[in-house]
Amino acid sequence: MMHGLLWFPLLLVFVLLTALGWLERRRQNLYRFWAEGSELAKLDGSGAARLKDGIITWSSFEAGSFKEKDTFEVKRLELVELMALSSGEAPLTNESQGQCRLRLIGCGKEIDVPFADAERARQWMDQLMGKARCDL
């Protein structure tokens, strides 16, 4: 009896890890379907974003599906800024790493797209500005 009680917590941990793995796999499969045909796409802990047909769409994963938060037309993009995620209006320095957000500005509209990784955000920033110049 004592041996069974010792193994019971390990069984619970195994079931919990299996369930979490299944949820993550489901999220990634939904992302693949959502991002299909996109020119540029990302999925991380802060949400998903894609560039498709000249429109940037930012979504978060809620209740088993992607919920669209906002959209932005690349043709209207005037400026992209790399900002710190939680420190208000502070721009991110080149050496900074970690969570951040891209601020997309154009035609009187501003949206913030969160990123879990500053390096990936910098790559997106460069690619978006390249696309904006091509579409002009």
Query: Over pLDDT 70: what percentage of the chain?
Result: 87
**Amino acid identity, residue 79?**
L
- Residue 111 is assigned to a structural domain of this protein: yes
Whether pLDDT at 121 is above 70? yes
The reported pTM is: 0.72
- Residue 121 is assigned to a structural domain of this protein: yes
**pLDDT computed for residue 61 by the predictor:** 83
Q: Which residue from 132, 29, 18 is spatially nearest to 75, judged by alpha carbons?
A: 132
- Residue 9 is assigned to a structural domain of this protein: no
Total structural domains within the chain: 1
Give per-residue pLDDT as tens, 74-107.
Answer: 888 788 888 776 666 656 666 667 788 888 888 8
- Residue 42 is assigned to a structural domain of this protein: yes
**pLDDT computed for residue 125 by the predictor:** 83
- Among positive and negative, which fits the CA dihedral 3, 9, 14, 19? positive
Q: What is the rounded distance in angstroms from the CA atom of residue 106 to the CA atom of residue 72?
A: 9
CATH number of the domain where residue 94 is located: 2.30.29.30
- Residue 88 is assigned to a structural domain of this protein: yes
Tokens for 86? 């939680």
- Report the Cα 107 to chain-centroid distance in Å: 24
Cβ atoms of residues 96 and 83 within 8 Å: no
- Residue 4 is assigned to a structural domain of this protein: no
**pLDDT computed for residue 17 by the predictor:** 96
Which residues constitute the domain of residue 110? Answer: 35-135
